[in-house]
Each structure stands twice: as structure tokens, then as C-alpha cells.
Amino acid sequence: MKKTLKRPELLLPAGSREKLDYAIHYGADAVYLGMVDFSLRAMRKGELITLDNLKDCIDLAHSMNKKVYLTLNIFAYNKDINQMIEAAEKINEANPDAILFSDFGVYNIIKKYMSKIPLHVSTQTNILNYEAVRFWQDLGAQRVVLSRDLSLEQIEEIKNKVPDMELEVFVHGAQCVSFSGRCLISDYMTKGERKANHGNCSQSCRWSYKLLEETREGEYFDITETERGTHILSPKDLALINYLPELIDLGIDSFKIEGRTKSLYYVSAVAKAYRKAIDDYLTTGSINKEENYNEIIKIGNRGYTTGFYLHKADSEGYSYDISKGLAGADCLCVFLDKIGNKYKVLTKNKFLLNDEIEIITPEECFRTKVLKIYDSKTNEEKELSNTNDITFLELSKEPKNYKYALARTIGVKNLR
């Protein structure tokens, strides 16, 4: 008899209210979000999530029958503990489906002041073995986020030893060079101004480094021969989209995507790709690996690796030539409205009249042509739409539903 497979949760980052909305419409079962004071990711764009709008964001997700997990996973100082106590009442009113934490002091605050909210243990606690899982289970945790430093075999053993504990694993996104993200490089390199475990990492591991010979002042040596220097501490991004069947077979409860500071396009496109891969396997018993890979290379990345999941990580898991994530396809515009046969869009990257573009929506992906571009204020026809312009478009083929539609370039560039 064929084993009935459990449907895993697809968990997406929600760095803003808008990204929360798009992540859910593109396939997320749940989102995780952090407030500006207590998050490991300091947000700089979009509608920031604060105590004042936290309940509205969670209510939005709940109205679509999706879950929201609140991250309180900083390593807290005394002032942070005091702030959390003050914030407890509003957090309780907001009613998140779980709180994600890593600090023992924060754990005490949650148990004392937010005791009705389920507990999820962050990957920052470096959970590597089944006894650690049991430890947190005994303390009342509902779920643990396993360390990225585990192999599939090690994860399987943990699941077998503690079958009644929910396990969450990272399947996609940026990786930290340090052990499960517990890093002090940023703190030192910025003289304490950009604390990695307090939501403001400067990503020093992504910087280009050269050797300096101390006895010969000002004399530099390349670590390897490259025009850009060498990013010796910069790991490639994790991508397990073609290994989801193995994780589903293990009974993993939640597949987590990294990227609360990533773009709206990133959140939407990665959610769409992983949603399709999960559903394909559950309905047909197989996935299209080539199609999956072609989709994720259109999303910003530093090159992809499977990390520790399939084998011991080695030098192939690092991006030595570049630190910035490059997308294989540029996001051109976000659809805002439709008036008659014209689409109102916000331009993210310049495009021209008569360009062929690709439209993605939660339900579709197709090519079309830009027939007309109109200035949103004067209604005059234009030859191009520049970055940050709001314009109106006529298209040769239109989306069945423009809501949440995005446009991107066709094909793949920056193939890593």
C-alpha cells in the first residue's frame, strides 16, 4: 500500500505587510515576520511591521486562513527584555500562531507574559541532535527549527527519535558563514554599530578581502587571482527545491524560505516555484527538476548549493567572485490597477515600447508584448517607462487576473 504523505507547510518571509499579502497569494501556508525592535532582520523598505500594525498584519493573514509566526529571536540585552514586557499585551492581542525565539531570557518572558502563544525554537539555538529536540519539547515548545548544518540522514534520525515534535527546515535562501547564524564579525568590523544578532548585520562575510603583509606597509596580496578580489567567507545560497521529495518523505512539517529583506518579486517568485514543486510531488509523485531550476535561477541568488543536506559542505559551496545576489530575470513592474484595457503599473526596472516581457501571477506565467506606454499624469504615449515611474500599459496578451501580477524580463541572464 502506498504511504500517505503529509502535506508540509510552506513558510515564507514577510518583511512588510505588502510582502505578507503577496507571499500568501503566491502559495505560502504561513509567514514569519518580525517587529523592528525584536527581529534579526532590520527592515528598511516598505511598510515596517511594528506594535501598532502587528494585529492588522496578522488579521490579514488569518482572514485568508493562513498562519503567522512572530519572531522575537534576537539575543536580548536588559533593555530588550524590558521592552518585551511592555509589548506583551499588544502581542497577545495580535494573536500570532506562534512565537519564534532563541534567547533563554526571552523564553522566560514569553512563558510569563504570553503563555497562551505556542513556542517555536529558532535555528539560532543550534539544534543538531534529538536530545536537544527533546529538551525543548520538555520545556513546552511545539516546534524546533533545525540547524542548517545537518544532513538528510541526521534529520531522519531526529524525526524517528522524536516523531511527535514538529520539525522545520530551511530549504531556500541566503546562508551565513557562521554556525547557524551566531556571528560576531559584523559587530567587530563596524565597531559595534551593526550587531549581527540584533537585527542589523552588515554582512561582513560578503565583503571582498585581500591579504596585507605586516612588514611591508601598504603591500596587498590577492588571496586568489581575480579582478574583484575574493569573497572567501560568502556562501552560495541554499536551494533544495529538487530535493523536496526526500524531505516530504521524511515527514518534515515546515519548509522555510529565507529572505525578509528580499524584494517583493523574490518573495512572490520563490513562493510560486516551491508551491508548484510541493504540489507536483504530492499529486503526481514526481517533480520536474529542470523546470524547477529554471524558475529559481530567475530569482536573485549568489549561485546555489545544497549546503550540508546531501554531503559535507566543501569549497564548492562558496561564491568567491561576487557577494551580491544577481537575478536571472529582472522584475520590471508591479501591477496596481486596471482602467479599461490599460494596466496601471509601478516600474521597478526600465522597459521599452514593443519589449517582450513575461507576466507572472499566482495562477499564470506567460509572455506578452508592450503595445503602448502612457504617462499616468498626461496620458501621452511614451517610448519607455523608467524605474519608479507609474505608467499605463496596453499588452498583446493580458492576465486573467491582474491582482498580484508582476512583469519580468524574458530568458535568463547572470547564469551562475
Q: In 3D, which of 342, 4, 296 has the Cα closest to residue 288?
A: 296
Burial 20-51 (b: 16+ CB within 10 A, else e): bbbbbbbbbbbbbbbbebbbbbbbeeeebbeb
Q: Comparing 51-55, 69-73, 310-314, 407-411, which segment has the lowest mean pLDDT?
A: 310-314
Same domain assignment for residues 274 and 398: no
pLDDT score, position 217: 72
- Inform me whether the pLDDT recorded for 226 exceeds 60: no
Residues 343 and 400 in one domain: yes
Residue 40 has pLDDT above 60, yes or no: no
| 57: pLDDT strictly greater than 50 | yes
- The reply to whether 289 and 395 lie within a common domain is no
How many whole angstroms separate alpha carbon 256 and alpha carbon 384?
A: 38
Does some domain include residue 73? yes
Average per-residue pLDDT in the chain?
A: 88
Q: Domain range holding 345?
A: 331-408
Residue 203 located in a structural domain: no
Together in a domain, 288 and 362: no
The pLDDT, as a whole number, for residue 195 is: 66
Does the pLDDT of residue 101 top 90, yes or no?
yes
pLDDT digits (tens, 9 = 90+) for 385-416: 999 999 999 999 999 999 999 999 998 876 65
| Separation CA 101–CA 408 (nearest Å) | 37
- How many helices (H) does the chain have, and how many strands (E)? 10, 20
In this structure, the answer to whether residues 62 and 132 fall within a common structural domain is yes
- When divided into structural domains, the chain yields a total of 2
Task: Decide if 77 contacts 40 (C-beta within 8 A).
Answer: no
Instruction: Point out the domain boundary residue: 293, 317, 341.
Output: 317
Do 71 and 99 fall into the same domain?
Answer: yes
Gyration radius of the chain over CA positions: 23
Same-domain pairing of 345 and 271: no
Note the pLDDT of residue 204.
Answer: 72
19's grid cell: 510582502
Residue at 401 is within a domain? yes
The domain boundary, picked from 317, 340, 370, lies at 317
Same domain, 267 and 337: no
% of residues, the chain, pLDDT over 90? 67
Do 308 and 346 fall into the same domain?
no
302: CATH: 3.20.20.70
Shared domain for 245 and 355, answered yes or no, is no
Q: State the CATH number of the domain containing residue 356.
A: 2.40.30.10
Statement to judge: residues 335 and 312 lie in one domain: no
**Are the CB atoms for 124 and 179 separated by under 8 Å?**
no
Which pLDDT belongs to residue 1? 40
Residue 165 shares a structural domain with residue 275 = yes
